[in-house]
């Protein structure tokens, strides 16, 4: 197995750093899948047990000026690694204003993802900062557990409000309850609701819009004003909202 890649564009490096920071906030460890066209960061905790499942896909040509890899075999041309998310995020934080960043799979008595960062010094000469991030090579027999998750059919899909606004609202609601009710309909309405024996609090978002396929996913005779609802652990939702570093153009909630 071989892997080496290089980023020289400042905007690409900044975006890659923010993706890494987001993943570090979601889970302590993650899987990294390296293929000829893509990098995937994967979290595969059991959602039914309260875990976080994530599939983050990066087209390598959108980030790297150089990219070379050889997988475990010609038939299975991919590399799967397990790493500590915070280690990668911490290494990339030192790459602010870097001239270039190189990532390479190495063996230093144990497998490592070696991150080399070329920084400019005050004298305009460059210096290299190197981080060796320990990784575990995931054997081929376990790859089946790290596939892209399927999105279940939903009754309603709705665009979310600005995530920073949503996070601010949910943080205040956390002081009232550990559980949150999310309601949405096909008219683009979204409600965040807390219900306890002592208080009922609801925050309403109107005219958010629905993804084009939402009405096709839902029952044809569903009343657009009819609310679908889910009950979730408010701490898990805040974990997701706090981890958002990539400023998405749009986020979608499916119920």
Mark whether 163 and 140 lie in a shared domain. no
pLDDT of 139 above 90: yes
Give residues with Cβ within 8 angstroms of 49, minimum separation 6: none
Q: Decide which of 241 and 173 is more confident.
A: 173
pLDDT digit string, tens, across residues 3-42: 999 999 999 999 899 899 888 888 889 999 999 999 999 9
Question: Structurally, how many domains does the chain consist of?
Answer: 2
Question: What confidence tier does 150 reach under pLDDT thresholds 50, 70, 90?
Answer: confident
Q: CB neighbours (10 Å) of residue 161?
A: 16
pLDDT of 193 above 90: yes
Question: What confidence tier does 155 reach under pLDDT thresholds 50, 70, 90?
Answer: confident
Q: What is the CA radius of gyration of the chain?
A: 21
End residue of a domain, out of 111, 145, 179: 145
pLDDT of 49 above 60: no
Mark whether 138 and 164 lie in a shared domain. no
Residue 150 falls within a domain, yes or no? no
**Residue numbers of the domain that contains 79:** 2-145
Please tell me whether residue 13 adopts helix, strand or coil conformation.
Answer: helix
CATH code for the domain in which residue 43 is found: 3.70.10.10
Mark whether 65 and 173 lie in a shared domain. no
What does pTM read for this prediction?
Answer: 0.80
Residue 249 falls within a domain, yes or no? yes
Encode burial over 32-48: b for 16+ CB neighbours within 10 A, e otherwise. Answer: bbbeeeebbbbbbeeee
Give 188-242 as a DSSP string: S-EEEEEE-SS-EEEEEE------TTHHHHS-TT--TTPPEEEEEEHHHHHHHHH
Residue 58: strand pairing partners: 39
pLDDT digit string, tens, across residues 54-105: 888 999 999 999 999 999 888 889 999 999 999 999 999 888 788 899 999 9
Mark whether 103 and 193 lie in a shared domain. no
pLDDT of 136 above 90: yes
Residue 226: strand pairing partners: none
Mark whether 136 and 177 lie in a shared domain. no
Closest among 92, 113, 86, 118 to 15, alpha carbons compared: 92
Mark whether 11 and 136 lie in a shared domain. yes
Element (H, E) at 170: helix 163-173
Helix count (H) and strand count (E) of the chain?
5, 15
pLDDT of 182 above 50: yes
Mark whether 209 and 134 lie in a shared domain. no
Question: What confidence tier does 50 reach under pLDDT thresholds 50, 70, 90?
Answer: low
Residue 151 falls within a domain, yes or no? no
Residue 88 falls within a domain, yes or no? yes
Q: Decide which of 235 and 151 is more confident.
A: 235
Task: Classify residue 50 by its DSSP letter.
Answer: T
Residue 166 falls within a domain, yes or no? yes
pLDDT of 215 above 60: no
- Please check whether residue 146 is in contact with residue 80, taking contact to mean a CB–CB distance below 8 angstroms: yes
């Amino acid at each position: 197995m071989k892997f080496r890649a290089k980023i020289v564009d400042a905007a690409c490096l900044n975006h890659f750093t923010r993706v890494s920071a987001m993943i570090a906030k979601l889970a302590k460890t993650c899987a990294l899948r390296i293929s000829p066209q893509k990098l995937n960061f994967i979290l595969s905790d059991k959602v039914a047990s309260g875990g976080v499942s994530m599939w983050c896909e990066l087209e390598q040509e959108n980030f790297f000026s150089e990219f070379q890899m050889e997988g475990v075999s010609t038939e299975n041309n991919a590399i799967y690694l397990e790493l500590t998310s915070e280690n990668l995020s911490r290494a990339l934080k030192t790459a602010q204003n870097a001239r270039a960043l190189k990532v390479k799979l190495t063996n230093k008595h144990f497998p490592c993802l070696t991150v080399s960062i070329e920084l400019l010094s005050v004298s305009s000469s460059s210096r290299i900062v190197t981080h060796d991030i320990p990784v575990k090579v995931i054997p081929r027999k376990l790859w089946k557990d790290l596939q892209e998750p399927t999105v279940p059919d939903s009754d309603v899909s709705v665009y979310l409000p600005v995530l920073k606004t949503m996070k601010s609202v949910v943080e205040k609601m956390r002081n009232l309850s550990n559980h949150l009710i999310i309601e949405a309909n096909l008219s683009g309405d979204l409600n965040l609701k807390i219900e306890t024996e002592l208080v009922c609090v609801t925050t309403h978002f109107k005219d958010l819009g629905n993804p084009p396929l939402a009405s096709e996913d839902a029952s044809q005779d569903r009343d657009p004003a009819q609310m679908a609802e889910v009950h979730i652990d408010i701490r898990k939702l805040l974990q997701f909202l706090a981890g958002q570093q990539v400023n998405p153009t749009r986020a979608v909630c499916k119920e």
